[in-house]
Structure 1
Amino acid sequence: MKKIKSIVYFILCAMISGCSNFDHLNTNPNTVETATSSLLATSVILDIVSPDGYAANFIQDACLAKQMIWLEYLHDYNYNVLGRASFSGYTMLINADKMKELAKEEYKDAYEALALFAKSYKLFYLSMQVGDIPLSDALQGESNNTKPRYDSQEEVMKTILDDLETASRLFSLANSFDGDPVFQGDVSKWEKVTNTFRLKVLMYLSKKENDPGLNSKERFARIFNNEPLMESNKDNLQLVFSDKSGQLYPYNKATSKHHVYATISSIVIDTLKAYNDYRLFYFAQPAKTMTEKGLQPDNADAYIGLDPVADFSDIKSEYAKGAYSAINLRYTDIPAGEPYTRVGYAEQCFILAEAILRGCINGNATEYYNAGIKASMTFIAENTPDDEMYHHGKIITEDYIDTYLNSEPVILKGDTEHKIKQIIVQKYLTYYMQYPFDAYYEYRRTGYPVLPINPLTNRNAEKDKIPVRWMYPTKEFDYNKENVDNAVASQYEGIDNNNKIMWILK
């Protein structure tokens, strides 16, 4: 078997130990010299689907999107400090290339498709953070190109869309493969995920829908009309946890004692109340101050969301009094928690609803909007034990969902912009404790939901704005200065800060 160079041995070991402690990854480090495509596939897939950490790290994206507040200390993301991005994600791409290189002939299509999907997924979200990134010259260290030039964000997005199209085609031709902890090598599932992600990328390019070089509407319609898409939550790209050691839900109290510092914002709580949305009772616990007044856990008025932009000392004061809603015990007490979704059916439905409103495809926007809500609620109900401590007597049933969909605040209505707002608000609720950073990116793209900004507490340099990007890593200025300087000059007039507008947002 072809040997992997020593630098890749190190990366593989580091990634395996860093991504997960799942039993099937507890391999002898002495066997890394005989790494196979299947072993590398496990590492690559877990790198995509695994959470970024525990406690505050697990909910940091929710803090940025003003869904949650971290109370142990003043969290940067709660108060709009983005800082600098990291390019560490490139290391996974080395493993993806080696996975493809080592594949036996009968599995080449599958592993090449997976490599293209993984590369596209990683580089998409990295570009969403900063703008232009190295792509054409990236991963050429073995050829002594250690200072890659930056491709424009437009070039990156075009390459991602082309690579995802190729990945979809290869998955359609491929045999099932080993080393897949999510779909057990079912290439039909991966084909659906890839096509759904293609639609997701195109929707994030909505401001460029008239760009002739992208042809985004035509691409979207072609995928929708000709390619297999997700059909239910069973097709979700998600990581499922268990009660086994090393496989616990990342917010389970056995993994971290810091879970007590998470509380839910008024944005989430008040929106759920306004919709008479039973997800309130699955997301949160009643506030101590309200139950002491005699309110029952099945009463929505017993739930209090804290103002995510209030002065931190005022928030801490409310916390000390018990005048807040903590996260539901199902996140902390149930070992398996709920699956952690990266690309999902509910999200796909909302994307299709918006695409119809934007004229990308033909169809009934209301049907997809309703299907997205139903999928979101069903996901929560099916991953929650039937116990009052987890749903507080407000059980999400099919009858309840039907009533909810026909309620006045929820019915899709009004002009196109109002309907898009309704869709994005429902995505925002679906993204709660899921889909890391997508709630923030959707706000950045659409302005919905309208998030509060308090100039007195906002730590962003521009006090009336939420920042729109991360700055480039310091290491790039240390080791690839000429190329990163050129990227900053071409995009941001030579100023690398958190408020400059990247191409995708113009």
Structure 2
Amino acid sequence: MKNTILKSILGVGLLFSVTSCSDFGDMNVSPNSPANPNTASLLTGVLRNVGSTSTNIMPALYAQQFGDVTYIEESRYKTVQVDYNALYTGPLSNLQYIIKLNTDEATKSTAAANGSNANQIATARILKAYFLQYITDRWGDIPYSEALKGVDNFSPAFDTQQAIYNDLFKELKEAQSQFDAGKTVVGDILLSGNVTKWKKFANSLRLIAALRLSKVDPAKGKTEFAAALADGVIAANADNIKYTYLSEANNEHPLYNNYITTNRKDYAVSSTFVNTLVKLKDPRLPAMAEKNINGEYRGVPYGVFPVTWKAQDVSLAAPSMRQQNSSVNVITYAQVLLAQAEAAALGWTSGNAKDLYEAAIKASLEQWGVYNEADYKAYIAQPDVAFTSAKAIEQISVQRWIALFYQGSEAWAEWRRTGFPVLTPAANPLNGGKDIPRRMAYPATESNLNKTNYNAVVTRQGKDDQYTRVWWDK
């Protein structure tokens, strides 16, 4: 991590440096190196990472929403060490810089051209929390309180996931309260500076994070869940947080890039996922999967080697969700309703778990564009779908797994937390283990360049492999 962070700092320094000469006026001032960094451009650059974070394919493979088509490796867990340095040196460093520019007396007035200082800081804090929760959910204990210090600390210690979660609750709560009535934020390609939507985003993130504590610290989870709900969460599909790609090669949908631009077709909908939806006669199947060359829904066999099929033989992701400029879901109304249904089933709230569960299914069908009342009523009346208190957590979890299609990181996290749906590991894993991974191993830069802190976290958290569980995964 040390070398990567140093390069990033040097790069930022070069980007914002200005060369001038008094004898020649502005002749030597580069128009590409502004004296005053543009916080709007920095924010736009950060937000371009949201789509890829939400749709990262490796967790979707672990959750068995997708499977490999040709190279049967990642569904057999070949990659053990996964790098997170780019998130620290990219979006997180830029968010920290946005906060700095809007805080320092020397720069805050200039920065305010792109939105009130408070609104920019609040937006940046929410996004920092979003990325950091994504990292800690995948790796466990991570550099947090000592991270993003630049030259002041090239070897940050690792915070416990429990401490990180406690601080994330604080950051999200404070940030959603920090917005003011000043100028809206410029450069916001996610929510167009809409303060109400940013607040709902922050509070919904808190809600989901609180539920992560259901087994490890239910008392804390219950308190934080109630507080987030009271502050106002996503309350309709119109509130859904989505990242929309563009009809141009530099910012196109990842599946469009894989299926069309590069013509690789590396991933298809897994047999696990397709078979579940077929069994349940799920109306969402056509919106999620494409029929194969024979006009059938056939998921790619999960983690099976050797390959006896071609891409044309299996169901790729549905065309409607993988156009060049398609949107991807970050957090949705159905997801929030399912969280509320589970909280009610756990006794955390006074809500009606059955009503919330059925409302979540309806919201998901509407979100995927397949809702009609007759199909909906028939669907929720099926024995495997009809709500029963005795199987509430399992039923809610299975519906969440379906609703979170192509939100792989969330689907994997919720599967680890609940154990549902019941998934069978790949037959012959390539990582030396036998089970589905529970975390990612740290990048090699930590053991090479941050060895003292790396050794400390391994001693505390456990072996740095894919099977040491993160704090909330009990």
TM-score, shorter chain, exceeding 0.5: yes
Q: Match for residue 304 of structure 1?
A: 298
Q: Match for residue 439 of structure 1?
A: 411
Q: Which moved more, 1:471-480 or 1:398-407?
A: 398-407
**What amino acid is the match of 1:271?**
T
Q: Match for residue 336 of structure 1?
A: 325
Q: Match for residue 24 of structure 1?
A: none
Query: Is the contact between residue 70 and residue 310 of structure 2 (CA under 8 Å) also seen in structure 1?
Result: no
Say whether 1:284 aligns with 2:254. no
What SS does the aligned partner of 1:340 have? strand
**What amino acid is the match of 1:402?**
K
Distance 1:306 1:368 in 2: 33
Structure 1 residue 448, shift from structure 2 partner: 0.9
Query: Is the contact between residue 287 and residue 304 of structure 1 (CA under 8 Å) also seen in structure 2?
Result: yes
Structure 1 residue 192, shift from structure 2 partner: 0.3
Q: Report 1:233-382 matches (<5 A).
A: 233-244=237-248, 246-252=250-256, 253-259=259-265, 261-288=266-293, 291=294, 297=295, 302-310=296-304, 312-313=305-306, 316-319=307-310, 323-332=313-322, 334-337=323-326, 339-381=327-369
Structure 1 residue 173, shift from structure 2 partner: 6.2
Query: Is the contact between residue 56 and residue 409 of structure 2 (CA under 8 Å) also seen in structure 1?
Result: no
What SS does the aligned partner of 1:239 have? strand
Say whether 1:96 aligns with 2:95. yes
Structure 1 residue 401, shift from structure 2 partner: 2.4
Q: Match for residue 391 of structure 1?
A: none
The alpha-carbon distance between structure 1 residues 426 and 9, as it changes in their structure 2 partners (threshold 3 A), is farther
Query: Is the contact between residue 82 and residue 469 of structure 1 (CA under 8 Å) also seen in structure 2?
Result: no
Q: How many residue pairs get matched? A: 441
- Structure 2 residue aligned with 1:423, among 396, 400, 410? 396
Query: Is the contact between residue 109 and residue 173 of structure 1 (CA under 8 Å) also seen in structure 2?
Result: no
Which aligned segments of 4 or more residues in structure 1 are displaced greater than 4 angstroms? Answer: 9-12, 172-175
**What amino acid is the match of 2:176?**
S
Distance 2:123 2:460 in 1: 33
Query: Is the contact between residue 69 and residue 300 of structure 2 (CA under 8 Å) also seen in structure 1?
Result: no
Distance 1:378 1:200 in 2: 21
Distance 1:172 1:404 in 2: 45
Query: Is the contact between residue 36 and residue 99 of structure 1 (CA under 8 Å) also seen in structure 2?
Result: no
The alpha-carbon distance between structure 1 residues 247 and 497, as it changes in their structure 2 partners (threshold 3 A), is closer
Query: Is the contact between residue 341 and residue 354 of structure 2 (CA under 8 Å) also seen in structure 1?
Result: yes
Structure 1 residue 187, shift from structure 2 partner: 0.8
Distance 1:175 1:406 in 2: 49
**What amino acid is the match of 1:250?**
P
Unmatched tracts of structure 2, length 5 or more = 1-7, 17-29, 103-107
Distance 1:478 1:354 in 2: 42
The alpha-carbon distance between structure 1 residues 135 and 363, as it changes in their structure 2 partners (threshold 3 A), is same
Query: Is the contact between residue 175 and residue 187 of structure 1 (CA under 8 Å) also seen in structure 2?
Result: no
Give me the identity figure in percent.
28
Spell out, residue by residue over 1:430-456, the C-alpha distance to the aligned partner (whole angstroms, 9 max, x if none): 1212x23111111111111111125x4
Say whether 1:179 aligns with 2:151. no
The alpha-carbon distance between structure 1 residues 486 and 413, as it changes in their structure 2 partners (threshold 3 A), is same
Spell out, residue by residue over 1:301-344, the C-alpha distance to the aligned partner (whole angstroms, 9 max, x if none): x322233133x11xx21338x65333323345x4333x111122
Taking only aligned residues, the RMSD between alpha carbons, in angstroms, comes to 2.7
Q: Report 1:2-401 matches (<5 A).
A: 7-8=11-12, 30-47=32-49, 49-51=50-52, 59-76=57-74, 78-88=75-85, 89-91=87-89, 92-103=91-102, 104=108, 107-143=116-152, 145-171=153-179, 175-210=183-218, 215-224=220-229, 226-244=230-248, 246-252=250-256, 253-259=259-265, 261-288=266-293, 291=294, 297=295, 302-310=296-304, 312-313=305-306, 316-319=307-310, 323-332=313-322, 334-337=323-326, 339-381=327-369, 396-401=371-376
Unmatched tracts of structure 1, length 5 or more = 13-27, 292-296, 382-394
Structure 1 residue 11, shift from structure 2 partner: 8.1
Spell out, residue by residue over 1:255-295, the C-alpha distance to the aligned partner (whole angstroms, 9 max, x if none): 33113x4322221111111211121222223333xx4xxxx
Query: Is the contact between residue 80 and residue 459 of structure 1 (CA under 8 Å) also seen in structure 2?
Result: yes
Structure 1 residue 128, shift from structure 2 partner: 1.4
Query: Is the contact between residue 96 and residue 148 of structure 2 (CA under 8 Å) also seen in structure 1?
Result: no
Structure 1 residue 246, shift from structure 2 partner: 3.7
Query: Is the contact between residue 298 and residue 315 of structure 2 (CA under 8 Å) also seen in structure 1?
Result: yes
Q: Which moved more, 1:264-273 or 1:191-200?
A: 264-273
What SS does the aligned partner of 2:206 have? helix
Query: Is the contact between residue 350 and residue 368 of structure 1 (CA under 8 Å) also seen in structure 2?
Result: yes
- Structure 1 residue aligned with 2:433, among 442, 456, 462? 462
- Structure 2 residue aligned with 1:489, among 446, 449, 459? 459
The alpha-carbon distance between structure 1 residues 473 and 241, as it changes in their structure 2 partners (threshold 3 A), is closer
Q: Match for residue 404 of structure 1?
A: 379
What SS does the aligned partner of 2:329 have? strand
Distance 1:101 1:483 in 2: 27
The alpha-carbon distance between structure 1 residues 126 and 5, as it changes in their structure 2 partners (threshold 3 A), is closer
Structure 1 residue 123, shift from structure 2 partner: 1.4
**What amino acid is the match of 1:125?**
Y
TM-score where L is the length of structure 2: 0.85
Query: Is the contact between residue 83 and residue 470 of structure 1 (CA under 8 Å) also seen in structure 2?
Result: yes
What SS does the aligned partner of 2:342 have? helix
The alpha-carbon distance between structure 1 residues 245 and 68, as it changes in their structure 2 partners (threshold 3 A), is closer
The alpha-carbon distance between structure 1 residues 210 and 375, as it changes in their structure 2 partners (threshold 3 A), is closer
TM-score where L is the length of structure 1: 0.80
Query: Is the contact between residue 210 and residue 225 of structure 2 (CA under 8 Å) also seen in structure 1?
Result: yes
